[in-house]
Amino acid sequence: MQSAHWIVKQYLHKRILLCVLVALGVFSLTLGIGFILQRSENKQQIESYTLRAVTTMDKILRSLEKERIRLQPLIGKPCNDSLLQLRQQVATLKTARSIFLVKDGILYCSSAFGERDIPLRKLQPRLADSKPKIILTIDRSLVKGSPVLMQWFPAAQDDQNGVVIGINIDLVSEMILDPSPPLITRTSLNIDNAYYMDGVGITEQRLQRKGEMFYSQASRAYPFSIAVSGPSFWMLALRELPGRLPLALIFGLLFAWITWIATARRMSFSWEINMGIAQREFTLFCQPLLNTRAQRCDGVEILLRWNNPRLGPIAPDVFIPIAEAKNLILPLTRYVLNETAQQLHYFPADPKFHIGINAAAAHFRDDKLLLEDLNNLWFSVKPVVQLTIELTERDALHDVNSELLRELHSRKVQLAIDDFGTGNSSLSWLEKLHPDVLKIDKSFTHAIGTDAVNSTVTDIIIALGQRLNIELVAEGVETPEQANYLQRHGVHLLQGYLYAPPMPLAEFPQWLAKHNGPPPPVMP
């Protein structure tokens, strides 16, 4: 038989092993996430860089394109009459180095040299064309042999007449082709099969070292692209990885310490509740709600029962307050919502039939939390029955967003205050919630017919509900005397053992079939 010492030693070894595994896992995960994020950031920076370069070049070309409207009327006019305006345009544009006028395929006027008489194709064989064109080539007129970027604008789709604008490629290079090492080591402007790089000039093939990344971004407006190259994303991310080691080590040790503290505790009751939810150990019961005036069952209240296979049956009065204290009431409520929605076939498909589900004040602290849970767990099954959210008063209720209440009412969800008069600031709840229903706590129902103070409070609650036009439900009705008193005072929705005890949902259809008639008789 294993000794206590051996069990403790094994448990200690398992704790140490678990903490080491957690530390290594967190350490590796932190480095891995850092590596992936750095790689993604490098990629985003390169994409952003090339996009800005393309956008800048688009703006330059677009501004030149607008100027052709002013320049094209000059085509065919004598050069002496147009020269001054051409030079003024060059000075104004800044991005243009020269402007040429072409008539019948002859370059006859230059902003730099004045009157000329040179066939355009002799200077630039790829010009002219019947459509606008951008070429990257070698200059043969101003600074012969230097790179030049030209934009050709034909006159009315006539390839013999038009305007040629020589773009200041040095300025373009400064604006858009400035590398950003170590991320980007080379940047080029690409037009057709020509590549221009600052300091290199024009080449017919891209310059890319082996193992480098290459990324290109094309313009959607003009026939050019911007390409960049540099170390691969992986290589750059690996270079940054050593700087993340201290943070990864801190996270690893921190999570190891947290694991050590967490595993030091014995199995807690909160763990039992979580296990109960995960293993579906909780069972739904329901207790009918009788309308004594109409002599029918108008609805049910959903109740939670727990037969713990490890500890035996546990009363709701035990596990629900603990769930609230351990912040587990929301998972329990979601469990009830989901289980009820999946078992709606046990209830009449009648929009006037009410199903009451208890919720804690914590569900109202976040404006969207309750709505999200209802949308995901309740409305997703398209229920026909009426849902009533019964809010318990065990916890203090903070301010409730009026939009949340309007949304609940628009979805035809009723609000009820459960166990009214026994919890926190009942009257303030009336102001904050504007409830549709008040459920009189069973302690006040049991006081009927006695001299207890609660008997007087019962009358006050009834009068308050009637004055505010709020529907009243009496809980814990166990005797005909209590039922008779409540009906005489205008409370006709009754719930308690006099009519039916809580029962499993599967038994409700059979009970309902036997109790379609009037409720049990009350004292005259």
pLDDT in tens, 356-412: 999 888 887 776 888 999 999 999 999 999 999 998 766 666 667 778 888 888 999
**pTM (two decimals):** 0.50
The reported pLDDT for the residue numbered 264 is 58
Those residues with Cβ within 8 angstroms of residue 210's Cβ, 6 or more apart along the chain or in another chain: none
What per-residue confidence (pLDDT) applies to 454?
65
Indicate the helix (H) or strand (E) that contains 304.
strand 296-308
For residue 330, CA distances in Å to 279, 333, 355, 394, 411 come to 17, 5, 19, 14, 21
Q: Which residue has the tokens 């009449």?
A: 348
Instruction: Please report, as a single letter, which amino acid is at residue 386.
Output: Q
What does the block give as tokens for 462?
């009834």
Spell out the residues 6+ positions from residue 312 whose beta carbon is closer than 8 angstroms to its own: none
> What phi-psi label fits residue 425: left (phi over 0), alpha (psi between -120 and 50 degrees) or beta?
left
- What average pLDDT does the structure give for the chain? 82
d(CA 437, CA 60): 70
CA dihedral 227, 228, 232, 235 (to 10 degrees): -170
Q: What is the pLDDT of residue 93?
A: 79
Q: Is 163 exposed, middle or buried (0-12, 13-18, 19+ CB in 10 A)?
A: buried
**pLDDT less than 50: residues of the chain:** 1-8, 11, 266-267, 425, 518-524
- At residue 266, the pLDDT reads 46
Contact residues for 157 (Cβ-Cβ < 8 A; gap 6+) = 130, 131
Return the SS3 of 118.
strand
Instruction: Note the pLDDT of residue 7.
Output: 31
What's the pLDDT at 426? 60
Q: What fold characterizes domain 281-514?
A: TIM Barrel (3.20.20)
What burial class does residue 370 get, using C-beta atoms within 10 Å of its C-beta: 0-12 exposed, 13-18 middle, 19+ buried?
A: buried
Question: Dihedrals φ, ψ of 220, to 5°?
Answer: -90, -15
Taking the C-alpha atoms of residue 229 and residue 31, their distance in angstroms, rounded to an integer, is 26
pLDDT at residue 142, as a whole number: 59
**Phi/psi of residue 228, nearest 5 degrees:** -130, 155
